[in-house]
Copies of this chain bind each other. A is one copy, B any other.
Amino acid sequence: MYLSPGARLAIYAEGEFGKGRSKTAEGVIRYAKNPVAAVIDSTCAGKSIKQAVGIDCPAPIVSSLSQALAYKPDAFLLGTAWSGGKLPEAWRSDIKDAIRQGMDIVNGLHDMLCDDEEIAQLAAKHNCQLLDVRRAPNHLPVGEGLARNVEAFTVLTVGSDCSVGKMTTSLELIAEAERRGKKAAFVATGQTGIMIAGGKGIAIDRVIGDFMAGATEQMVLEAAPGNDFVFVEGQGSLAHPSFSGVTLALMHGSCAKAMILCHKAIRKCINALPDFPQPDLKMMVEVSETMAQLVAPSKVVAVAVNTVGMDDETAHNAVAQAAQRTGLPACDPVRFGAKPLFDAIAAYQETLSKTPVG
- A residues contacting B by CB (< 8 A) are 83-85, 110, 141-145, 204-210, 212-214, 238-250, 252-253, 273, 275-276, 279, 287, 290-291, 294-295
Contact = CB atoms under 8 A, between A and B. Distances in A.
B245 A212 contact: yes
A294 B144 CA distance: 27
Contact of A206 (B83, B209, B239, B253): B209
Nearest to A84: B142
Contact of A241 (B85, B213, B242, B275): B213
27 contacts: A83-B142, A84-B141, A84-B210, A85-B210, A110-B208, A142-B242, A143-B241, A144-B273, A205-B208, A205-B209, A206-B210, A208-B208, A209-B243, A209-B245, A209-B249, A212-B245, A213-B243, A213-B244, A213-B245, A239-B294, A239-B295, A241-B252, A241-B253, A244-B248, A245-B250, A245-B252, A290-B290
Given A207-B208, A245-B252, 8 more contacts: A145-B241, A206-B208, A207-B209, A209-B243, A209-B246, A238-B291, A238-B294, A244-B252
Contacts of A253: 241
A252 B244 CA distance: 8
Contact of A294 (B207, B242, B244): B244
Contact of A212 (B110, B209, B291): B209
A17 to B, nearest CB: 23
Contact of A214 (B85, B143, B242, B279): B242
Contacts of A205: 208-210
Quick one: which of A239, A241, A245, A290 has the most chain B CB within 10 A? A245
A145 B275 contact: yes
Given A84-B210, A209-B204, A294-B287, A145 B249 contact: no
Ranked nearest first, the 9 interchain pairs of A and B with the lowest CB-CB distance are: A245-B249, A145-B241, A245-B245, A239-B294, A209-B246, A143-B242, A205-B210, A205-B209, A248-B248
Contact of A210 (B238, B246, B252, B295): B246
Contacts of A243: 142-143, 209-210, 213
A144 B252 contact: no
Contact of A144 (B141, B242, B246, B247): B242
A243 B217 CA distance: 13
Nearest to A235: B209
Contacts of A84: 141-142, 210
Contacts of A295: 239, 241, 244, 276
Nearest to A284: B294
A85 B209 CA distance: 12
A242 B209 CA distance: 9
Nearest to A210: B205
A287 B294 CA distance: 10
A141 B86 CA distance: 11
Contacts of A276: 145, 295
Nearest to A249: B245
Nearest to A276: B145
Contacts of A239: 294-295
Nearest to A143: B242
A220 to B, nearest CB: 13
Contacts of A273: 144-145
